[in-house]
Each structure stands twice: as C-alpha cells, then as structure tokens.
Amino acid sequence: MSTAAPSLSPSRSPVPVAPVDAPRRIRRGSPVTPYLFIGPFLILFAVFVLAPILVLAWSSTRQWILGFDSGGFVGGENYATLLSGQGVLSEEFWRGMRVTAVFTVLSVPLLVTVPFALALLLNLRFRGRTLFRAVYFAPYVLGVAVVGVLWHFLLDARVGPVNHLLGAIGLPDATAWTTSLPAGWVSLVGVTVWWTVGFNAVIYLAALQDVPAELHEAARIDGAGAWRRLWAVTIPHMRRVLQFVVVITIIASANMYGQSALITQEQPGGATRTAIGYIAQTGMRSYDIGMASAMSMILAVCLIAASLLVNQLFRLVGKV
C-alpha cells in the first residue's frame, strides 16, 4: 500500500513509484472466485442430477436385468421395442403414457388457474387473511401416502363418507370414484388440486406482492376497472412467474404416481396406471433396468419438449 500513502511517510525511499501503476492495482478479484461460489452447487448437481442422467442414458442402451449376465450393449434396441407398439412392454408403456397425458391435460389448467384465483383472494386485505393462507397451504405438507390412503377411504363408493354425504343432500350417492372412469379422473385431479393448490398459490402470492402499487393506482386514475387492471397490469407483470408455474406444474403432473397407486389403485383393471407406475414396475419389481431406463428417457424427452413448447408459447404471447 505504499502508493496509497506516499505523503504520510517521510520520503526516504529513493525509488520513485511509477504513477501509471496505480490504475492496474484496483482489485478485480481472483478468476477462481466465481467457480468457488458455484462449486458446492455444481458438485451436488453433478452427483445427483448430471451423473444419474448420464447413467440413465447409458443403461437405456443395454439389456440389463438385475441378477443376470444379460446381453450387454444393445444400442437402440430397447427404444425400438418400446416405439414399435408391438408386445406387452410397448403396449403397457404407451397405455401408461396416455394415462399420464390425460391426467396432465386435465390437471394443469386447474392447477394453474385455481391457485391464481386463490392468490388474488388471499392478496386482498381482510380479517383472518393469514389464517386462510395457512389453511389453503396446509394439505401440501402432507405426504402422498397420507393423502392417498385418506382419500381412498373417503372416496370409497360403498363405505366412503363422500358418497354418504352426497346422498344426504340428495345427490347421486353411488358414483364409483375409485373404480370407474371418468369418475376416477375426477377423484385423481380433484385430490391433486386440493393437495397442491397451496404451493402454486404461494408462488403467485409472492409475485402479486411484487406488482408495483403505483401502476395499479395509475390505472385506477385512468378509469380502469378491477377486471381491466387484472389483465392490463397484474397478468403482464406476472408473465415470468406464470411461465414458471406452468412448466413445473406440467412436470409435476407428468410425474404423477402415488395418487393412482393409492387412491384408485390403478383400477379399473390397470386403466389408471401412469407411465411412472409402469416404469416403477419394470425397474423395481421386474428389475429390468435397461428397459425402465429407456422408458424414463422417453418420458424425459417428452417433458423437455413440452417445456420448450410452453416457453415458446409464452414468448409468442409476450410479443403480441
């Protein structure tokens, strides 16, 4: 620091300090610093995300069944079998994919809009607001096992309270909520909405509080009604959050497994077994790691495609 305080010390040094050096001595930090900051996360990401994906891709190209010296590298044969549409593996897998697709299409619109409406309500000023915020979030803290077992009992067609209550108020009381379609879809989607509505609502709520109050005020002065303000101020401001919610909700719905395993128990006759359900059966019970990996890869590619599509759509809407 001799350059910083040359005048304070007696000028005993015969060596003059070159003034051109001064600007170069501004500390810019070590080039290693950014890597040290992302390091901890990078390690976790590499070990728990990147490595499993690579192993998955690798194992999907092998005939690998635990307990057997099976065929080794088979290239794209697992994929070819699954994509052929022929045979039990392919038929069951695509049946599961259809179930997953139906569930996603039915649940995502509700899981995007209902929490949004809820967040708008919870963002108003009223007595007991905090209590309601907690109440709507409460089911989310339950595990899928609790939710599944609980609703399987509640929705039982013959001995469950739901039908009993419906009958008590004069509505049809013999709907087979867990053993027939389409009633089974109503159960699965309904329970999922009840269960996870709080999570998306909390995200929306946080975003709503970020919308500047001045904009609302300005719009109000310009004579915009509540509806107009919602569309012209609130929603455009939440575009990024909406996009995020849509994408994670699609992914969460496409990964549905517990609800159909516990509430409908894949009834009627396996008609509500999702793709994940069949992947679990193939990998965990038949130990067919190669085939289960290939199925997972196909599902992952479908999800990546869906996410990209959503991002693209939001970009288009944003340009309008």
Partner 1 sequence: MTQSPHPAPAGPVGAGPAARSTARRGIGRRHLLAGAGIAGTALTAAACSGGQSIGGAEAPPAAAEPFSGTYDGPDVTITFWNGFTGGDGPYMKQLVAEFTEANPAITVEQSSLEWPDLYSKVVTATDAGSGPDVAAMHLDQLASFAARGTIVPLDDLTESLGLTASDFTPAVWQGGVFQDRRYGIPLDMFTIAQYWSTPMLASAGLESGPATAEEFAAATTALQGAGVAAPFWISPDNWQIFVSLLGQFGGSLYSEDLTTVTFGDEAGVKALTWMRDLVESGVSPSDATDLATAFKNGSSAIIHELLWLINDIEDTADGMEYGIGPFPMIGDAPGVFANSHHFALTKQADADEDRGQAARMFISWMSENSATWAGSGNIPARASARQDVVFTEGRQAPLAADDVLESFLFLQQVPGSREIAADSYQRAVSRAVLGEEEPEAALAAAVTTAQEMLDRNRELYGI
Residue ranges that bind partner 1, judged by CB under 8 A? 65-70, 87-88, 92, 153, 156-160, 174, 176, 178-180, 265, 267-270, 281, 284-287
Bridge partners (DSSP) of residue 65 are 288
Residue 314 CB neighbour total at 10 angstroms: 17
- Please give the backbone phi and psi of residue 72, each rounded to the nearest 5 degrees, phi first: 75, -145
Instruction: In angstroms, give the least distance from the CB of 157 to partner 1.
Output: 4
Give the nearer residue to partner 1 in terms of CB position, either 133 or 273.
273
- Give one DSSP letter per residue of 178-200, joined into a string: TTSTTHHHHHHHHHHHHHHHHHH
Per the CB < 8 A criterion, the answer to whether 197 and 118 are in contact is yes
Are 313 and 243 spatial neighbours (Cβ–Cβ below 8 Å)?
Answer: no
Minimum distance from CB of 252 to partner 1 (Å)? Answer: 24
CB of 212 to partner 1, least distance (A): 52
Q: Which is nearer to partner 1, 233 or 289 (CB)?
A: 289
Q: In angstroms, what is the minimal distance from the CB of 153 to partner 1? A: 7
Q: How far apart, in whole angstroms, are the C-alpha atoms of residue 260 and residue 269?
A: 12
Residue 61 φ/ψ, nearest 5 degrees: -100, 15
Question: Residue 19 or residue 269: which is nearer to partner 1 going by CB?
Answer: 269
Strand partners, 62: 73
CA distance 283 to 289: 5
Nearer to partner 1, 26 or 88 (CB): 88
How far apart are CB 282 and partner 1 at their closest, in Å?
8
- Closest approach of Cβ 278 to partner 1, in Å? 9
Q: How many angstroms separate the CA atoms of 191 and 44, rounded?
A: 33
Q: How far is the CB of 312 from partner 1 (least distance, A)?
A: 38
In terms of CB distance, is 65 or 302 closer to partner 1?
Answer: 65
Q: Give the residue with the Cβ less far from partner 1, 64 or 204.
A: 64
Quick one: tokens of 173? Answer: 């009381």
Instruction: Specify the residue, 184 or 198, whose C-beta has the smaller distance to partner 1.
Output: 184
Crossing angle, helix 129-137 and helix 87-122, to 10 degrees?
180
264 three-state secondary structure: coil
Spatial distance between the Cα atoms of 109 and 107, rounded to a whole number of angstroms? 6
